[in-house]
Amino acid sequence: MKTKLLRRLKEAGGFISGQTLCRELQCSRTAVWKGMDGLKTAGYEIESVPNKGYRLVSCPDVITAEALLSEAKSRWVLNEAVCFTETDSTNEQAKLIALQGGKEGTLVAAEAQSAGKGRKGRSFVSPAGEGIFMSLLLRPKVRIEDAARITLVAALAVQEGLKETTGLDCRIKWPNDIVIHGKKLTGILTEMSLEEDRISYVVVGIGINVNNRAFPKELQSLATSVFLETGKETYRAKLIAEVMDRFEKNYEVYLKTGDLTELYVKYNSLLVNMDERVKVLDEQDPYEGVSRGINEKGELLVSTEQGVRSVAYGEVSVRGVYGYV
């Protein structure tokens, strides 16, 4: 009930009568009153005026199921939300939900993580009340070898969601970092579980630095946040909903072919690596060249003196980003 009331209050944009709410939500006035009281207790400022009804004045910047679902724009992505004040890792919680038969499109989010996960086992700094830490449960019917491209689909969605919500002209560092002014704004970690010869589930973990005002000294030259770039606070639930809406659209395009045939041109237009000198940090064969963007397989094409080489995975350092000068 609280989610439905909150969504309707946001849609109204002004006063809406209790009678109208009862009729639209098919509930009693007592149910409306209790729902409003619950929202007020949760920190929502709601004005009530006789003969006019209720008006939403302000929303707390909290990560709750009501906040996320009331902002949701997508059809099936973010159809359910499981939220924590603090958890070990939203990816780990999403995996547990997957094993329990959770629905595709379920989003797990937390205000803080005690064991946030980054790529290659690195930790992901997850302070309370500032960032977005979320994991999306998917059950794609694609070939195992095609699933890795979902990470690039997620990067595209995050870039688009950030641009739409905050106006930031950020870029993608292949394969899945979102950067601006040479610093990292977002991290994405995709994990997959197999059942015999098919995909059981995929979990896409996304961390976004949103309202962070400062970072530990060792990260100050590497990381930034939406607040540090814009000087403004961002309502995180709205940003999450926008990213999920963009993900749904791009993901459905990806599912048609299982690759990036219809997405790689758009992806390349946002690539910070594009036509830049890059260093491919291959453990066996490191080399340098010029990035020519990705192909439909999501591989980064690097032009070298010996010809064009494709990079399927691994670390790539870009001149001017993360200290490569």
Q: Residue ranges per domain, the chain?
A: 2-58, 65-269, 277-318
Q: How far apart are CA 248 and CA 245, in angstroms?
A: 5
Please compute the mean of the pLDDT values over residues 99-106 and round it to a whole number: 97
* pLDDT for 283 beyond 50: yes
Decide: 191 and 91 in contact? Cβ < 8 Å: yes
**pLDDT value at position 324?**
40
For tokens 């002209």, the residue is 169
Instruction: Give the pLDDT confidence of 4-19 residue by residue, as tens digits.
Output: 999 999 999 999 999 9
**pLDDT value at position 316?**
72
Strands in the chain per DSSP E: 45-49, 53-58, 80-84, 106-110, 132-138, 171-173, 177-180, 183-195, 198-208, 277-280, 287-294, 300-304, 307-311, 316-318
The class (CATH top level) of 2-58 is mainly alpha
* pLDDT for 49 beyond 80: yes
* pLDDT for 299 beyond 70: yes
Decide: 263 and 249 in contact? Cβ < 8 Å: no
Confidence band for 116, pLDDT divided at 50, 70 and 90 = low
The class (CATH top level) of 65-269 is alpha beta
Please state the φ and ψ torsions of residue 226, each to the nearest 5 degrees: -60, -40
Please compute the mean of the pLDDT values over residues 94-104 and round it to a whole number: 97
Give me Rg for the CA atoms of the chain: 21
Note the CATH number of domain 277-318. 2.30.30.100
**pLDDT value at position 246?**
98
Highest mean pLDDT (candidates 29-33, 157-161, 182-186): 157-161
Please compute the mean of the pLDDT values over residues 222-234 and round it to a whole number: 96
Taking the model in full, what pTM does it have? 0.92
**pLDDT value at position 25?**
94
Confidence band for 321, pLDDT divided at 50, 70 and 90 = low
DSSP for 198-252, please give it.
Answer: EEEEEEEEEEE--S-----GGGTTTB--HHHHHSS---HHHHHHHHHHHHHHHHH
* pLDDT for 282 beyond 50: yes
Mean pLDDT of the chain: 91
Side chain identity at residue 115, one-letter code: A
Please compute the mean of the pLDDT values over residues 9-37 and round it to a whole number: 95
**pLDDT value at position 322?**
56
**pLDDT value at position 277?**
87
Confidence band for 117, pLDDT divided at 50, 70 and 90 = low
Instruction: Give the pLDDT confidence of 199-221 residue by residue, as tens digits.
Output: 999 999 999 999 999 998 988 88
Structure tokens at 127: 């302070």
* pLDDT for 122 beyond 80: no
Cross-sheet strand order for the sheet of 171-173: 80-84, 106-110, 132-138, 198-208, 183-195, 177-180, 171-173
Instruction: Give the pLDDT confidence of 164-201 residue by residue, as tens digits.
Output: 999 999 999 999 999 999 899 999 999 999 998 899 99
Instruction: Select the more confidently predicted residue: 283 or 44.
Output: 44
Side chain identity at residue 280, one-letter code: V
Please compute the mean of the pLDDT values over residues 296-322 and round it to a whole number: 81
